[in-house]
Amino acid sequence: MSKRVRSREVCADCSAPEPRWASVNRGVLICDECCSIHRGLGRHSSQVRHLTHSPWPHSQLQMVQTLYGNGANSIWEHSLLDPSSSVSGKRKANPQDRVHPNKTEFIKAKYQMLAYVHRMPCREDDSVTAKDLSKQLHSSVRTGNLETCLRLLSLGAQANFFHPEKGNTPLHIAAKAGQILQAELLAVYGADPGALDSSGKTPIDYARQAGHQELAERLVEIQYELTDRLTFYLCGRRPGKCSKSVNHSCSFALEGCIQYNHQFEELAMDVYDEVDRRETDAVWLATQNHSTLVTDTTVVPFLPVNPEYSSTRNQGRQKLARFSAHEFATLVIDILTDAKRRQWGNSCESPKDNVELILQGIDGHHNSEGQDNDQPDYDSVASDEDPVQEATCGDKSSDLSDGPITVQEFMEVKSALTASEAKIQQLLKGCSLEGQSTVLENDYDTTPNHSEMEETAHQQEEGEEDATLPCTEDVICKTEQITKNIQELLRAAQETKHESFLPCSEKICMAVTEMAALFPKRPSSETVRGSLCLLTSSASRLHRECQKAAEHNLSPSDIQLVTQQVIQCAYDIAKAAKQLVTVTTKENNN
């Protein structure tokens, strides 16, 4: 797009200038703040990519830009365009609105509840309406009118609709007509490039027979998207492709290898979503202004709840976030290996056996880290009412948020108290650094595991538990020190200065040790013990990962995996520090 056009681009949700992100399935451009909310909605609601830092197929980016330029946002804000909407109090967000709750509530209403989409007249048989819409979609994809097709899809038209009279799907029609942007839109909404028409031909066959070679090759890429994406995550490049055949030299179509095991398909799709979350996190961190870690926007700690999935599946999806970079890469390899074996006909005697071995690996990999298989990573599924800020927590008695620190929370505490550096110096006076460093590895368990924490607590029953807590201003001051050091580490990660990781981690570990020293060695509060456990164990893991980054024989892909783990550890430390600030403030105010 030309600079003149780009200069007029504004966020579809709040009208902030120069949006840097796109929601692929919604066909809109969004700003950083609104993107932080979109990411928390989940890919089933919004699939986000950075306009310049994310890898884009050219035709897919062109599809989004065309939709945005042709007013696709009016589909999602139809009722807001009615002058009477201002009278009724309905309005869209603006750049000055706070992220929480203003922008968050508006974006959820817009994309999750589809509160502003034009509604079809109510009919007795909804299936008839969907069939009529799908037939309209089938006819419309032969033209270049993308926004019409997006509107039909938003109303319930099915991308894989098989037309009983025509004997094919909308993607067959788009392929025959050479409508590559329509094909991109249909694929985003789940259209299958391998679907067969009544004669046994695929959309790929249609495109080739009509002479649309570029479109045919793109459809092949779409067909292999899942396994290609997993392969790219592992080695940083996509498998080679042969233009004369739909077969890839190193890849394979998932659709061909899961014909007898739906459970494996679900697992592969969930791993794909987790790859997308991790890669988007990396882009997010690389493109943010790290002058402050404490922001009003939020990280996405695990895959948000998809209401169409069962609670068990949502819990399994959330467990994927607990994998270290190495563990997750091993699971991806397991998925690719098993899929390849299935496609080539070398599956085990019982297809179910093999996928269950992989599913057990979700817990098995954690066993190697000392985790307890019997303890679930999450005791309950995160609420789909607030996927951006809420995280799962089995301890119903605790009202601590498991999300990142927000500006509001931080400033509310800070404004009530004045930081007292003199008190901290007095507290730490006479404590040698060597004496403090033992706190990090000895006084608190270094593994955030529920069963081991209980065992540690049992061992401490012989000693006297201490219910006293440090004053809140001291904890805030140490939190600021930790945050400042984390900012330095994140800047190093953004600038790929891996040699700076280890010095930064040493500063963070020292600050964490000093913060842990503020608390009694045997806190009576289970919440405080858990937060200190997370704080110190995350600092220990951070230091180990930074030591790996200092090695000179790492490949670029290894460096990328280590960097992702370093960033995750940094956010775990920030989260634990926030918890300690919150609980200290609450207890001291009681």
- What does pTM read for this prediction? 0.65
Joined together, the tokens standing for residue 30 give 């969004």
Contact between 382 and 302 under an 8 Å Cβ cutoff? The reply is yes
Q: Which of 304, 298, 308 is nearest to 381 (CA)?
A: 304
**Structural domains in the chain?**
21-112 (1.10.220.150), 259-342 (no CATH), 472-588 (1.20.120.330)
pLDDT in tens, 214-245: 999 999 999 999 989 998 888 776 665 443 33
User: 553-561 — which CB contacts under 8 Å span 24+ positions?
Assistant: 556/236, 557/234, 557/235, 557/236, 559/498, 560/236, 560/282, 561/325, 561/326, 561/329
pLDDT of res. 474:
86
- Which residues touch 412 (CB under 8 Å, ≥6 apart)? none
CA distance 300 to 391: 9
Q: Which of 373, 473, 380 is nearest to 419 (CA)?
A: 473
pLDDT of res. 374:
43
pLDDT of res. 147:
96
Q: Within 72-145, where are the H helices?
A: 73-76, 84-87, 104-107, 126-140
Counting DSSP H helices and E strands in the chain, the numbers are 25, 3
Ranges of residues in the chain whose predicted pLDDT is under 70: 1-7, 83-89, 120-128, 237-260, 289-299, 343-464, 557, 590
pLDDT of res. 441:
35
Nearest 5°: CA angle at 437, between 432 and 440? 150
pLDDT of res. 25:
97
- Which residues touch 87 (CB under 8 Å, ≥6 apart)? none
First-to-last CA distance in the chain?
A: 58
Q: Are strands 28-30 and 21-23 parallel, antiparallel or unpaired?
A: antiparallel
Nearest 5°: CA angle at 64, between 37 and 314? 40
pLDDT of res. 384:
44
Q: Which of 276, 229, 267 is nearest to 360 (CA)?
A: 267
pLDDT of res. 34:
95
